[in-house]
Structure 1
């Protein structure tokens, strides 16, 4: 997705490279990985994963090499060696190799029926197994794990989710929202085990998963399908083998350059300062920075910015950004309607919005996120923030009119 976004951005810009070769290991062109969860749930078909390709007759010549793998980068000669023996020269190389599921080192992890959930091949294999029915265990109660669990449930499986922390989505939600989410999922028939850690995946005589042992538990959980969604590992091997500087991922500067001035890295395979990536918003920002530099007109350097989280499960609306736990310096504003299953919690510091968790009615989410980005002082309207955008903006307009009135300005000057 990162490479696709970069190419489509370049094709709209003056000064873009005249020839772009894109090499992808998967057999198909780029698709929308974000929509794999709805695809697994049967809510969209494969066509719904397609990413649009803009047609620009005067744009760069685009050469796609799908189902092809780069096995070596020769930096001195500036050429790539592919698995089919082809040699491809480059003036500038962009590594957008993404990531793979981080698989725990537990016995049985290599059994048949144990999957990550990262690409279309994973989703298709899961769908095939799920259509047979039976029981599934999803390891990881974050965004991806819960979306995978719901997809398997909708395909007819009995699903159990294992979460190592005491609550679901512990990086995004507070206790109240996590509890409401858990109640909804259990109401749909998904079993939840929090504070749980996998010890072993059990296999049958055919080498296929048939159960999961938890640490501290004697009786295993039955499972013909086990899905691992406990994090990702950056695909850095091509760059690392070529001698590029690496930490958890390929190290880049604020122009997305690696330690080689002829090689950039983008997306989940790169690391800027201490940050690595698993959400699209910062990657889209990276694309804008890199595209300008590749067109010879460098703009503002890349910098970190906060991101908002949305859960892609049909019938569940959730929006969150900022800290999950209130600290002493935070003013906490909350609203809850148990009958309507709605909850809002806002965190402010010195009158400025720094975090929000919305469950149920999340229509205000993008507006609240924009307020936080603008770092506006909301002292005079902070209690109306829970009521809605229209009420708050009316108060803000009224306050602005008062502040700009001649009488108010005169009083301000006299006070000064």
Structure 2
């Protein structure tokens, strides 16, 4: 590529090099290879990696290399300039400049903000003591592993997915691990009480102690963490406290340069911010009042923006939320409403001994919620029915609850 051709290309700067940023770059280079002069800036010292594998990394099942997506050669082959370990400090919208660190300046014609989110730290007394960490990136995993020495006692605060994963990872290391959750069930946004009990049992089978309805008052220690005190007066010895109580969109950069902010960076259906040359994707973005904290909506947004930037008609209209994952080795699927609303019908199959639970929530003849634990083979059909809102056919109830005749799970598969 000669200098004259480079000068004719639009300069595209992407701030953030996480999973969503990479998905956007993959789609953009597939659709319009070489069309933009692309620079990507990531604050972490490594290229994009799979955060879903952090608990496996913590537990020693995989190494950092196995978490990576694309090698540096992929960026080079696609003409993408990659800058790592360098946080963006300023966005100058008027002059179209991004300042990296103290002195490095990148001009842009189009700017994409894929800066993700920040882990929430509870404002507790003692929360700043050494030994209190979050669980969000490679650096957090390294800090946790360094503290997880022999005979260490760890407490994880937070019964969402990341909290459960952190606790399982610590238990795999042989660490005495207790998980605290302020609610009366884990993953209350995705699970009802029956499903949550199965997940709790699976966690306990992995060696994790579970304390529900547990509200933390403070963290104490002389120079570093030594104990955690609950509001009911219970004192729990601790050498390590992992806070995993949620995330908040990273909006500081956008706010400082005057973009419109709500819970996240506000975007329209084409992922455009209040500045027509600046776009936002993923956990940092707020679309129609919703800031999604999941990968699936972010990937859909990345696809829409890649199409929009090359002139195709594309619009993001929101995502019908569904969660499909493994919690402590137990398959879980949740979509639509979780707790049965008044006037709705709940169709339930529950076999605690087999670790199997299925619930369909039906309102006005339509599927509005599905919750499966232990066997999730009908998840795709459920997602489609909830998304479209079509009326259930006569055979749908049996097929969704027990599987279609050709795909009925065996007893062995249910207990696996």
CA distance in 1, matches of 2:151, 2:178: 14
Corresponding residue number in structure 1 for 2:94: 76
Counterpart pick for 2:275 among 251, 256, 260:
260
Corresponding residue number in structure 2 for 1:351: 365
Corresponding residue number in structure 2 for 1:285: 300
Corresponding residue number in structure 2 for 1:208: 224
Distance 1:6 1:333, change over 3 A: same
CA distance in 1, matches of 2:76, 2:247: 38
Instruction: Map 1:149-298 onto structure 2 (within 5 A).
Output: 149-204=167-222, 207-217=223-233, 219-298=234-313
| Offset, 1:314 | 4.4
Q: Deviations over 1:215-256 (max 9, x none)?
A: 121x41111111111111211111111111111111111111
Matched, 1:7 2:25: yes
| Offset, 1:58 | 11
User: Which one has the largest radius of gyration?
Assistant: 1
| Offset, 1:308 | 1.9
Distance 1:250 1:183, change over 3 A: same
CA distance in 2, matches of 1:57, 1:294: 19
Corresponding residue number in structure 2 for 1:23: 41
Matched, 1:380 2:401: no
Query: Structure 2 regions of 5+ residues with no counterpart?
Result: 1-18, 409-416
CA distance in 2, matches of 1:388, 1:150: 30
Bigger mean CA offset, 95-104 vs 58-67: 58-67
Corresponding residue number in structure 2 for 1:370: 384
Aligned pair count reads 390
Corresponding residue number in structure 2 for 1:407: none
CA distance in 1, matches of 2:35, 2:215: 49
Query: Structure 1 regions of 5+ residues with no counterpart?
Result: 395-416
Distance 1:285 1:305, change over 3 A: same
Structure 2 length normalisation: TM-score? Answer: 0.89
Structure 1 length normalisation: TM-score? Answer: 0.89
CA distance in 2, matches of 1:72, 1:79: 8
Corresponding residue number in structure 1 for 2:329: 315
| Offset, 1:56 | 8.0
Distance 1:297 1:162, change over 3 A: same
Bigger mean CA offset, 382-391 vs 103-112: 382-391
CA distance in 2, matches of 1:250, 1:100: 14
CA distance in 1, matches of 2:327, 2:149: 19
| Offset, 1:388 | 3.2
CA distance in 1, matches of 2:339, 2:126: 36
Q: Kindly indicate whether the alpha-carbon contact (under 8 Å) linking 1:165 and 1:195 is maintained by their aligned counterparts in 2.
A: yes
Bigger mean CA offset, 100-109 vs 377-386: 377-386
Cα RMSD after superposing both structures = 2.2
Distance 1:116 1:159, change over 3 A: same
| Offset, 1:132 | 3.5
SS where residue 370 of structure 2 aligns?
strand
Q: Kindly indicate whether the alpha-carbon contact (under 8 Å) linking 1:333 and 1:386 is maintained by their aligned counterparts in 2.
A: no
CA distance in 2, matches of 1:7, 1:312: 28
Bigger mean CA offset, 128-137 vs 225-234: 128-137
CA distance in 1, matches of 2:248, 2:108: 27
Distance 1:189 1:13, change over 3 A: same
